[in-house]
Chains A and B, each alone.
Chain A
Amino acid sequence: MNFDLSDDQRDAAAGARAFFTGSASPAAARAALEGTAAPAPGRKALADIGFLGITVPESAGGAGGSVLDLAVVAEQGGAVLAGPSLVTAARAAVLLEGAPDLAAQLADGSAALAVLDGPVSGSAPSVDAADATLFLGLDDGVLVVGEGEVVPGAPLDATRGLARVRMTSRRVLAEDAAQLWARARQVGAVVMAAEDLGAADRAVLMGVDYAQQREAFGRVIGSYQAVKHMLVDAWVGVDQLRSLVWWAAWAADSAPAELPLAASAAKAYAAEVFERAAETVVQVHGGIGFTWEHDAHLYWRRAKVDRLLLGDAAEHLDAVARLAVAGALG
C-alpha cells in the first residue's frame, strides 16, 4: 500500500498551480459574474496546455494519464475558480472511449463540448454548456452527440458555464450506454470533488491569512478560539476530503468495482466541506467578507452551485448507504 502522490504528480500539481494562477483568478470569476468576460482561462488555453486531454488515450492525441493525474490538476484549477471545468473533459473522455475522432477534438480543443444532464430535448442546467457547440447526452439509454440551442440563465455562479440546452441534431454514438453514462458521471463527480477540494482549501487559507492580521480588542482575531476553531474545523474537513478524492480517483483508475461508492462518498463530502469552508471564510472576514469586491462570495457561490450539480449530497449519501448495504465495503 502507498497512499501518497508520486513525485511526478507533485510536479504536475506545481506546474498546474503555476499555470492556473497565471491564467485564472477570482477576479476573472467576478468579471464573468458581471458579464464582462468568459470564465478564465477558457477552453483554448486549457487545450493548449494539454489539460483537456489528460485522460484521453495517447492514440487519440491525449496524454493517456490517469484520473488521479487529472484530479491533482483539477484541484489547482478549483483553487482559483477556473473554467471551463475539467469535469467536462473527464466525463467526455469516458463517454468518447469508442469515438477516438471526437476524443481527439476534445483534447485539442477543436470541439467545444459539454455533457448534458436531464432530457436532451430540454436539459437541466449543465456544466460548460453556455459556450459549447457540441453536446453529449443520454437519450433513452442511447448515447448521442449533436448540436443544440443554448438557453443561458442567470446562474448563481458564473464560472460553471451553466446553461439549458435543447438538442437540435443527434447522432448515435453508442446503444445501451446507461452503464457507460453512469461511469462517466461518477468520474465527473470525482473530478468535481477535486475542484471543490482546491477551492475549499484556498478558502480556508484565505481565512487563516486574514485571521493572522486582523486585530480586534487588542488581539489578532485568530488567537480567539471562536475564530481559530471555526478555521480548524474547516481545515480538518479539507484534509479528510483530500483523502476521499485521492481514494476515489484511484478507484476510477484501478478498482472499478469501488468507484460507485468512492465517487459518491467524495462528492457528498465535497459538497459539505466546501460549503462549510466558504461559509467560514465569509464569517472570518466579517463585513468585508460580505462585499462584492471581496473574493469570499465567489467561493461561496461555487460551493452552493457545485453541491447541487451531478447529484446533491442527499442523493450521494443515499447511494453510499445502498451500496454499503449491498456489500460494497467488502
Chain B
Amino acid sequence: MTAVTLPPSRRRREVLPVDFDDTAEEAAYRARVRATLEERDAELLHVRPGQSADARRYEAELRATERVLAEAGLVGVTWPQEYGGQGGTLVQQAIVAQELARARVPTLINHIGIGMCGPTVIAHGSDDQRQRYLARLLRADDVWCQLFSEPASGSDLAALRTSAVRDGENWVVNGQKVWTTLAHVADFGILLTRTDPERPKHAGLTMFVVDMHAPGVTVRPLRQMSGDAGFNEVFFDDVRIPDSERLGEPGEGWRVALTTLMNERVAIGGAGSDIGQSAEALAAHARDRLPALGAEQQVLARQAVGRALVASLATRYTGYRRFTTLSQGGVPGPEASAGKLGGTAAARLVSDAGVRLLGDDAVFGATGDGDETWQKAAAYVPGVAIAGGTDQVLRNILGERVLGLPPEPRTDKSAPFSSGGRR
C-alpha cells in the first residue's frame, strides 16, 4: 500500500479553504456598495417587466444610470484610477455585479465598451488614447461598439475584407460590418481592418478606434428575432481615420483582436443580471405562476424549473471558481469558453422554464398586463449562442486548447489573403 498523508484538516484553520462568505473587508465593501445603491435608487433604472417601449428614452435612461454609477465609483472597479477606474480588486468587481443584480439594475449600456473595447485600449492604446477615451467610456459620455464581424466573416474573423489604406497621416477605410451591437447609439468603435492583403490572412490586419460620427460611416439597424433592434449593419465609405487612432502596430491587428476576444469570453461567461438568465428571477416567477397551473402541469413545470436552476447554479459557481483563479493572479485562458457555453445552456433552460410557467399565456398572446418578459428572454437566447463565438466554435477551442485534441486540417493559414487561401 502506498503511504499517504491524511487530510490535515484536523488542524482547524480560521478561514475555511472554500468560503463563499465575505471576509470582513469584503463585507464592509458590500455594505458600502449596497448603501450607495439604496441612496441613489431613484436615479437608477431598474429591470422591470414590460420595459419602456421608447428606445430613445430608454437609451438616455441607461446612459444616465451608468453616469450615476460611475460617479459613485461602481463602474470600472478594476480599472486603473488614472483612467477613471477605482484600482480595485476582482472580488470587489464581483461584489458590485452581485449588488447591481440584486438591485435589479439592468446591464450597463456600455457593457461592450467596459468588457471589451476598454480593456483593448488599455492593453494596446497609446497614453493619449487612454487619457482621451477611458474615463468618458466609464461614464457613458461615449458609448462604444465592436466592429469585427462582416457578412462573409463571422466565426472566421480573420477572413474579413474591410480595407484600410494608408494616405499620409490618415487611413482610408472602405467596407461593411454587420451585427454590430449598439452601433446605432455608439460614439466610438474598435474596428478591425485589412491593411495588407498580400500577407497571410492573420498577418495583414490592423485595429483602429473609429469615430462613429465621422463622415462616411452609415449605420442601419437590423431587427433581431426577438423583435428588438440591438445590432446593425455599418458601412464605411472612404472614412478617414488619423494614424494616431491606430491600436497597436500595422499588421498586428489579430493580436489586438485576441485581447478583445479573450475579454469577451470572460465578460459573457456566466454573467447576466437580466431576467431570463437569473436563477432568482426564475424562482420568483415560479412562486407567482405555479399555483395557477393544474396539478400535473405543476409537476412537469417543477422539473423544468429545477433543471434550469441547477444549470444556472452550476454556471454561477463555475464562474466563481474561474474568478478565484483570476483573483489569485491567474490569467483568463480558454476555459472561459466553457463559461460561455454553460451560461448559454443555462439561459436557454431558464428562459424556457420561465415561458413554460405561463401556461396558455406562453403561446396565446401576452399575459394580461402585456408582459412579454419571458418570451423575449427566450427569443434572445439563440443570439446569445451565436454572439461572441458560436457554440461550435467554442467547442473547437475547448477541444483543441483544453482537451488537447488535434485541430482540424486547414489550408488557409499561410497563403497570401489575396490569393483566396484555399478558396
Contacts and interface: CB of A to CB of B under 8 A. Distances in A.
Interface in A241-257: 241-244, 246-247, 249-250, 253-255
Closest 7 CB pairs of A and B: A317-B306, A6-B17, A15-B4, A243-B317, A222-B405, A240-B314, A228-B399
B18 A4 contact: yes
A269 B302 CA distance: 15
Chief secondary structure at chain A's binding surface: helix
A250 B396 contact: no
26 contacts: A2-B15, A3-B317, A11-B5, A12-B5, A19-B2, A23-B2, A211-B405, A222-B405, A223-B406, A225-B408, A227-B405, A229-B399, A233-B395, A240-B314, A240-B317, A240-B342, A268-B306, A316-B306, A317-B302, A317-B303, A318-B306, A321-B306, A324-B306, A327-B283, A329-B280, A329-B283
B398 A232 contact: yes
A1 B19 contact: yes
A321 B305 contact: yes
A319 B306 contact: yes
Nearest to A218: B409
Interface string A300-330: 0000000000000010111111101101011
A223 B407 contact: yes
B306 A49 contact: no
A321 B309 contact: yes
Contacts of B328: 4
Contacts of B9: 8-9, 12, 63-66, 69
Interface in B298-329: 299, 302-303, 305-307, 309-311, 313-315, 317-318, 320-321, 323-325, 328
B205 interface: no
Given A3-B320, A240-B342, A247-B20, A220 B406 contact: yes
A177 to B, nearest CB: 27
Contact of B405 (A16, A212, A243): A212
Given A19-B1, A212-B404, A329-B280, A1 B91 contact: yes
Chief secondary structure at chain B's binding surface: helix
A317 B307 contact: yes
B320 A1 contact: yes
- Scoring B279, B306, B392 by chain A CB atoms within 10 A of each residue's CB, the highest score goes to B306
A12 to B, nearest CB: 4
Contacts of B320: 1, 3, 243
Interface residues of B, number: 67
Nearest to B346: A240
A257 B392 CA distance: 39
Interface string B269-289: 000000000011011001100
Nearest to B102: A330
B318 A240 contact: yes
A45 interface: yes
B38 interface: no
A286 interface: no
B123 interface: no
Interface of A: 1-6, 8-9, 11-12, 15-16, 18-19, 22-23, 45, 48-50, 54, 58, 63-66, 68-69, 72-73, 208, 211-212, 219-220, 222-223, 225, 227-229, 231-233, 235-236, 239-244, 246-247, 249-250, 253-255, 265, 268-269, 314, 316-322, 324-325, 327, 329-330
Interface of B: 1-2, 4-10, 13, 15-23, 26, 91, 94, 279-280, 282-283, 286-287, 290, 299, 302-303, 305-307, 309-311, 313-315, 317-318, 320-321, 323-325, 328, 335, 338, 341-342, 392, 395-396, 398-400, 402-409
A242 B342 CA distance: 13
A219 B311 CA distance: 35
Given A22-B1, A45-B1, A317-B303, A250 B16 contact: yes
A175 B107 CA distance: 53
B409 A219 contact: yes
B19 A243 contact: no
A235 to B, nearest CB: 6
Given A232-B399, A268-B310, A317-B307, A239 B318 contact: yes
B7 A63 contact: yes
Contact of A329 (B19, B91, B279): B279
